[in-house]
Amino acid sequence: MPRLLLLVFTLSLGSCFFGERRMNAPIDANALASLQIGVSTASDVTAALGAPEQVVELGEKSAWLYRHNHEKNVGIFLLAIGLYGEDTQSDRVWTFFDKNGALTHIGATLQAKDAEFHLPGLD
């Protein structure tokens, strides 16, 4: 009988977890703001942001991708019910260069800091 009570008690206990994962270094918004279209070069971009994650050749031009992901996840389990939530937000920067290596365009979304712990249905 004590073993049965122990088993019932153990199964009635819940559990939860919180997790966090990051991919690549965060993108420095101040370093990004220091870049100037038509003035900055590929060397300036590398000095400010580091090595790109991806380089795409576009004929004589090129584009570089910088990305930082921040993921937060949480789960809770009670008896036979489980809830799991995951939120992944990213910083993404594309820099575009002409054939001489001069910066022609920048596209950026900086949202990695907005990742949240969230369980569905508990809003």
> Regarding predicted confidence, which is higher, 77 or 47?
47
Rounded to two decimals, what is the model's pTM? Answer: 0.74
> Which residue in 85, 84, 42 sits closest to 66, CA to CA?
42
Task: Give percent of the chain above pLDDT 70.
Answer: 89
Q: Residue 77: what residue type?
A: F
Q: Average per-residue pLDDT in the chain?
A: 88
Question: Which phi and psi angles does 9 have, rounded to 5°?
Answer: -60, -45
> Environment class of residue 28 by beta-carbon count within 10 Å: exposed (0-12), middle (13-18) or buried (19+)?
middle
What b-and-e string marks burial along 103-112, b requiring 16 or more CB atoms within 10 Å of the CB? beebeeebeb
pLDDT tens-digit series, residues 65-112 = 999 999 999 998 877 778 888 888 899 999 999 999 999 999 999 988
DSSP of 47-98, one letter per residue?
A: HHH-S-SEEEEETTEEEEEEEEEEEEEEEEEETTEEEEEEEEEEEEEEEEE-
